[in-house]
Amino acid sequence: QKEVEQNSGPLSVPEGAIASLNCTYSDRGSQSFFWYRQYSGKSPELIMSIYSNGDKEDGRFTAQLNKASQYVSLLIRDSQPSDSATYLCAVSFVGFQKLVFGTGTRLLVSP
């Protein structure tokens, strides 16, 4: 069973704080990891991809990957109310030409 687990939330943070979103996955051989942002009623938007252990930064976003622990996270620095959305983690599994999505974590950033 290929599984991607996320805490459904909501995760509530004040404006300006760091939001930390977490994702675990079941296949130790997974190679590709993606974070999508989905606003209510809209389609998912790709915000980060990561393929190697360690950190990858893009503006206010940092993705962190630890393959040994089968764990990928997304940090959002200086959170803004406009960051309020559901964040979906997606993982590729070895031998499967498709992604498996988690159910998403809802983030609420209060002014």
Partner 1 sequence: DGGITQSPKYLFRKEGQNVTLSCEQNLNHDAMYWYRQDPGQGLRLIYYSQIVNDFQKGDIAEGYSVSREKKESFPLTVTSAQKNPTAFYLCASSKAAILDPYEQYFGPGTRLTVT
**Contact residue for partner 1 among 39, 42, 55, 77 (CB under 8 A):** 42
**Contact residue for partner 1 among 84, 85, 104, 105 (CB under 8 A):** 104
Q: Which is nearer to partner 1, 37 or 62 (CB)?
A: 37
Give the count of residues interacting with partner 1 (CB under 8 A). Answer: 21
CA dist 101 and 81 (Å) reads 25
CA dist 96 and 28 (Å) reads 14
Instruction: State the pairing for strand pair 33-38/19-25.
Output: unpaired
> Facing residues of 50 across strands?
33
**Contact residue for partner 1 among 7, 20, 22, 49 (CB under 8 A):** 49
What's the token pair of residue 75? 């940090």
**Contact residue for partner 1 among 88, 105, 107, 109 (CB under 8 A):** 88
Q: Which is nearer to partner 1, 29 or 111 (CB)?
A: 29
Q: Please, where are the H alpha helices in the chain?
A: none
